[in-house]
């Protein structure tokens, strides 16, 4: 249980709730067991006075039994209210911690895992850990306390009967543990098959145009059928194993009842045990059997939780290299210098930049041109410090980029990525996303600068139009211009356009450049482009093709 040790601080944090939870477990078990002896006593009382009519004593016993049952119910409720609540809170804290860590990771760290894998840590793995925190801990403690109290009463009633009935129970736990492990394994396989269906469906819906265009509906349908059949097989396989679970428990209950009847019956005939005491034993066994079965189940849950927790820990232990080490905040003017910068993508070993040096003074503009794959976007990523150079250094205002306050630096950069990405939200929120406090007027002002205002007011909901899957599908050029507005609204010191005008016709491009000319005047701007016409407006042109930067190693 090594990985699960990392949860100890969480337990400690919620120790109050857990402490009460344990008290409630004791209380609920105590009343649950305490009432049993009165069942036996009533039986004995009734059989003794069978012909004497109404018996006041029995009535008192019944009242005690009812009261105990009510108290058991109440304390069981309280037990869940404390322990399960604590487990939910820990789950919440764990989810937040994982999510915060996601946000801190650098781009290269993301490349090491897939999105599906990241999502799994947040959903499946955390749920598995919560099962350990809640039911896992609760049932184990419950069983221990129950066993202690019940054994005490059972031994008090009859020693040899106790031994005969208790010995088979750990075997039951073991068998249930084995069955549960198989169930867990098979349900995991089933889940995998299920997520394969989701991925497939999502993919074919996203690419529905391509599917129709190539007239591949039949092919997709056939593939889908294969996947669904696979899922069905896995689900049936799981159901077959699950059927054993209760069968085994019911079989053991039956077996133990026979044992009690046989041995108890014999003892009764030898006058060693009353009918009432035998009745007690039936009750004790029926109370004990579920927790014993649960322990088998919980053991397998805990194993799963451990595997999940170690996956989560592995992720949380990932240290990102792009971190902020500087507290002071400097204003960013916008002088940029690349000094012998090389960059090798760690996951592929591709050398995207080789010994690149250039300089831009604050307020000036630089156009970067070059073949595809020559490393233009890599320059943009380096400048945003989304990645750090493998060799060489980048200086901003004469300081190494690594020695600038990262958050403050990024606030001063406007980056329009090559692939426009908008969130499934309104257009206004997407543009305003870049700054902390945006107003409608400001959003409109910058939408006008990015020459997209006219398009936006053409939509029925105007600035409140939803974009993305559930909203309006925007054209490539509209998306690009919304991204430009989103970058401009930051009023950054450094603006980076990564091929951001590629989807626009020359007239619109000209419009935008004219609109933002004033904006660009006192900002350093880097314009990555394939068009001579755009490049010519810049103060300097860097042509990556000439220095033949891109070469795979």
Ligand X SMILES: Nc1ncnc2c1ncn2[C@@H]1O[C@H](COP(=O)(O)OP(=O)(O)OP(=O)(O)O)[C@@H](O)[C@H]1O
Give contact residues for ligand X (rule: CB under 6 A): 111, 345, 347-348, 350, 352, 370, 372-378, 418, 499, 550
Distances (CA, A) of 291 to 18, 154, 176: 19, 16, 11
Nearer CB in complex with Mg ion: 134/417: 417
Q: Are strands 540-543 and 551-552 parallel, antiparallel or unpaired?
A: unpaired
**Torsion, CA 410, CA 529, CA 473, CA 492, rounded to 10:** 20
- Residue 489 or 496: which CB sits closer to ligand X? 496
Region of 6-14, 216-224, 415-423, 489-497 interacting with Mg ion (CB under 5 A): 415-423
Q: How many residues bind Mg ion (CB under 5 A)?
A: 3
Residue 375's binding partner out of ligand X, Mg ion, none, with CB under 5 to 8 Å set by partner kind: ligand X
User: Which of 418, 502, 508, 543: binder of Mg ion (CB under 5 A)?
Assistant: 418
Minimum Å gap between C-beta 356 and Mg ion is 15
Tell me which residue has its CB nearest to Mg ion.
377
**Residue ranges of E strands in 13-160:** none
Considering the complex, what minimum distance in angstroms separates the CB of residue 375 from ligand X? 4
Instruction: Provide the sign of the torsion angle of the four alpha carbons 95, 96, 97, 98, taken in this order.
Output: positive
Paired with 354 in beta bridges are: none
Which residues have CB under 8 Å from 302's CB, separation 6+?
1, 4, 132, 136
Which of 3, 288, 271, 54 minimizes the C-alpha distance to 162?
Answer: 288
Least separation in angstroms between CB 499 and Mg ion: 6
Q: If contact means CB under 5 to 8 A according to the sort of partner, which of ligand X, Mg ion, none does residue 291 touch?
A: none
Q: Which is nearer to ligand X, 112 or 222 (CB)?
A: 112
Which of these ranges, 22-30, 94-102, 117-125, 368-376, lies near Mg ion under the rule CB under 5 A?
Answer: 368-376
377 near Mg ion, rule: CB under 5 A: yes
- Residue 459, CA atoms < 13 Å, CB-side half-sphere: 20
The window from 3-11, 312-320, 349-357, 376-384 that contacts Mg ion (CB under 5 A) reads 376-384
Which residue lies nearer to ligand X by CB, 348 or 522?
Answer: 348
Q: How far is the CB of 142 from ligand X (least distance, A)?
A: 51
The smaller minimum CB distance to Mg ion, of residues 150 and 377, is found at 377
Say if strands 524-528 and 365-369 run parallel, antiparallel, or are unpaired.
parallel
State in angstroms the smallest separation of the CB of 378 from ligand X: 4
Contacted by 96, from Mg ion, ligand X, none: CB < 5 to 8 Å by type: none
Nearer to ligand X, 146 or 356 (CB): 356
Closer CB to ligand X, 384 or 550, in the complex = 550
> Are 331 and 504 contacting, i.e. CB atoms less than 8 angstroms apart?
no
CA 369 to centroid of chain Cα atoms: 41
- Contact between residue 527 and residue 538 where contact means Cβ atoms under 8 Å apart: yes
324 binds Mg ion per the rule CB under 5 A: no
| C-alpha of 146 from chain center | 35
If the CB atoms of residues 309 and 413 are measured against ligand X, the closer one turns out to be 413
* Torsion 158-160-161-163 (CA) sign: positive
Which residue in 431, 461, 433, 435 sits closest to 447, CA to CA?
A: 431
Work out whether 342 is an interface residue with Mg ion (CB under 5 A): no
- Site of interaction with Mg ion (CB under 5 A): 376-377, 418
């Amino acid at each position: 249980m090594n990985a699960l040790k990392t949860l100890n601080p969480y337990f400690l944090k919620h120790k109050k709730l857990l402490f009460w939870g344990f008290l409630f477990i004791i209380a609920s078990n105590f009343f649950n067991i305490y009432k049993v002896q009165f069942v036996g006593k009533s039986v004995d009382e009734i059989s003794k006075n069978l012909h004497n009519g109404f018996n006041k004593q029995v009535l008192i016993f019944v009242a005690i039994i009812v009261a105990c049952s009510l108290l058991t119910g109440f304390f069981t409720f309280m037990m869940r209210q404390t322990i399960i609540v604590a487990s939910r809170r820990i789950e919440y804290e764990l989810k937040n911690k994982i999510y915060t860590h996601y946000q801190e990771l650098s781009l290269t760290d993301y490349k090491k895992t897939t999105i599906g894998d990241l999502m799994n840590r947040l959903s499946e793995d955390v749920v598995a850990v919560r099962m350990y925190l809640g039911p896992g801990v609760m049932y184990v403690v419950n069983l221990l306390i129950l066993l202690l109290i019940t054994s005490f009463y059972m031994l008090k009633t009859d020693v040899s009967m106790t031994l005969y009935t208790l010995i088979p129970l750990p075997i039951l736990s073991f068998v249930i543990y084995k069955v549960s492990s198989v169930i867990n394994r098979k349900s995991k396989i089933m889940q995998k098959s299920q997520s394969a269906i989701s991925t497939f469906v999502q993919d074919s819906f996203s690419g529905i145009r391509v599917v129709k265009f190539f007239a591949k509906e039949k092919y997709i349908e056939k593939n889908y059928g294969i996947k669904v059949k696979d899922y069905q097989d896995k689900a049936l396989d799981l159901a077959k194993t699950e059927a054993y679970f209760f069968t085994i428990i019911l079989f053991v209950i039956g077996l133990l009842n026979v044992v009690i009847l046989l041995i108890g019956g014999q003892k009764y005939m030898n006058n060693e045990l009353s009918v009432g005491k035998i009745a007690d034993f039936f009750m004790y066994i029926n109370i004990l059997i579920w927790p014993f079965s649960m322990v088998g189940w919980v053991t397998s849950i805990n194993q799963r939780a451990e595997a999940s927790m170690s996956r989560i820990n592995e992720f949380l232990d990932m240290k990102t290299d792009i971190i902020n080490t500087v507290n002071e905040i400097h204003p960013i003017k916008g002088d940029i210098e690349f000094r012998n910068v090389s960059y090798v993508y760690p996951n592929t070993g591709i050398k995207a930049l080789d010994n690149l040096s250039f300089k831009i003074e604050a307020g000036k503009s630089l156009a970067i041109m070059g073949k595809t794959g020559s490393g233009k976007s890599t320059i943009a990523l380096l400048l945003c410090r989304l990645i750090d150079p493998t060799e060489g250094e980048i200086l901003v205002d004469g300081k190494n980029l690594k020695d600038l306050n990262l958050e403050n630096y990024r606030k001063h950069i406007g980056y329009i990525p090559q692939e426009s990405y908008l969130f499934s939200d309104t257009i206004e929120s997407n543009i305003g996303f870049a700054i902390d406090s945006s107003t409608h007027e400001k959003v409109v002002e910058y939408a006008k600068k990015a020459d997209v205002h006219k398009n936006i007011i053409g939509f029925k909901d105007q600035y409140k139009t939803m974009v993305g899957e559930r909203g309006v599908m925007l054209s490539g050029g509209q998306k690009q211009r919304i991204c430009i507005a989103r970058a401009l609204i930051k009023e950054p010191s450094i603006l980076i356009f990564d091929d951001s005008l590629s989807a626009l016709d020359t007239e619109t491009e000209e419009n935008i450049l004219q609109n933002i000319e004033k904006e660009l005047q006192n900002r350093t701007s880097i314009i990555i482009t394939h068009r001579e016409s755009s490049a010519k407006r810049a103060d300097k042109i860097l042509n990556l093709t000439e220095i033949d930067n891109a070469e795979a190693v």
